[in-house]
Structure formats: C-alpha cells, structure tokens
Amino acid sequence: MITQRADTTAQVRIEPWTDADLALLRRVNTPEMKKHVGGPETEEQLLVRHGRYLDFVPSGLGCMYRIVLLPEGEAAAGEAVAGEAVGTVGYGTRTWEGETVHEMGWNVLPGFQGRGIAVAATRAAVAAARREAAHRYLHAFPSVDNPASNAVCAKAGFTLLGETEFEFPPGRFMRSHNWRVDLRDADRSAERSADRAG
C-alpha cells in the first residue's frame, strides 16, 4: 500500500486489486465515466476486465489498484485506517511502436473529482511501477478531448511526446496524447513533478 497526499486536506492510498473490487469496477462503468473511451462495457466485458486485473500481478503484466480516500487527519499518523474506495488506477502491458511497454489508466468517481485525487493516486502508482514494473517505459494515452486526464499526466510527471492515433477499445480509434514516464529515471521525474507542483 502506498499513501500519497492529494491536496491540503485529502490523502489517498492505493491498494492492490482484489476480487471484492468488482463492485468498484461496476461503479466506474458509466456513460459519464467512459465517454472518452468508447462508452461503458457490458457485464461480460467487465468480468473479463476484472479477471485480467486480478491476473496482472501473478502474470507479471502489471498491477491494478483501488484508490482509497483516507479520513482527514488519521492518515498522517501513519496508521492503517479504513477509507472509502473512490476510483481505480493501474498499469498493464502492451506493444507500442514495436516495443513492449506499460500503459497506465485511472478513474475517479464523479463526486470525488477535482480534488487532486487522480494526480496523487497516479503518482503513487508510478512510484510502485518504478519498483515493480518489468519494462522501462510507462505510457498514458488520454484523448486530446479529455483535458482533465491530460492535466493528470502533466502533474504526475509524465512527458508529452505528441499526438497519436490510438485504438481503444479494440476497433475504435481516437486522437490521443502520448504521455510517457521513463521508469528508470526516478530522480529527474521527481524533480519535474516538484517543479510542476510549485
């Protein structure tokens, strides 16, 4: 588990995906939440996705997490406190331009958006990937029409490489920004994130 401060009042913790997180996956599978990625999935597609998330770590392909918002004041003490699951963040493995890379994605439930939670959770997941990921590069491909997710990338230490045609879900192409983190470049990425935050 990794704890990260979201803003001046909220802290989040990312916790590895478990079978119980299927309910959370259903909560983020709404037209509003999925408007930039082709819309909600069917129940059958959700069950396949859930199984893939559960298999990420055993197969060595990545790691999926639930984002837990911690009660104010309690997380600072370093205690293991209960919190509310408010979204998902994680990374898997894909082939991109002939190279095996990791790809990151996130979702924060609407009632919790705009509070820095996605940025804090993404930073925590990038930190975990630096320790655990098998491949050097971690990408994110938010739609050019999704300013919130592009802002998360910028604030979480990703470097914008440019625009690209990106297929997601299979059979649906969209114009995306290609953001990347070099997972072997921890010191420079941390410095860039601190510069952006300041």
Within 10 Å of residue 28's Cβ, how many Cβ atoms? 19
Q: Average pLDDT across each block of 10 residues of the chain; the chain has 198 residues. List them in order.
A: 50 94 94 83 94 93 94 52 86 94 95 92 96 94 93 96 84 89 73 49
- Which residues have CB under 8 Å from 125's CB, separation 6+? 2, 14, 63, 65, 89, 90, 91, 104, 106
8 secondary structure, DSSP code: S
Query: Could you read off the pLDDT of 34-70 as tens digits, one per residue?
Result: 887 778 899 999 999 999 999 999 998 999 999 999 8
**What pLDDT shows up at residue 192?**
52
Indicate which CATH number applies to the domain containing 134. Answer: 3.40.630.30
Domains in the chain: how many in total?
Answer: 1
**What pLDDT shows up at residue 8?**
39
Q: What is the pTM of this model?
A: 0.83
**What pLDDT shows up at residue 187?**
52
Q: Which domain holds residue 161?
A: 2-197
139 secondary structure, DSSP code: E
54 and 19 in contact (C-beta within 8 Å)? yes
**What pLDDT shows up at residue 185?**
84
75 secondary structure, DSSP code: G
**What pLDDT shows up at residue 10?**
59
* Torsion sign across C-alpha atoms 74, 80, 86, 89: positive
* Alpha helical stretches, state H, 60-146: 117-132
- Which residues have CB under 8 Å from 101's CB, separation 6+? 93, 94, 95, 135, 136, 137, 138, 139
Query: Could you read off the pLDDT of 73-94 as tens digits, one per residue?
Result: 544 444 445 688 999 999 999 9
From residue 174, give the alpha-carbon distance in Å to each of 95, 101, 150, 157, 178: 17, 20, 14, 23, 12
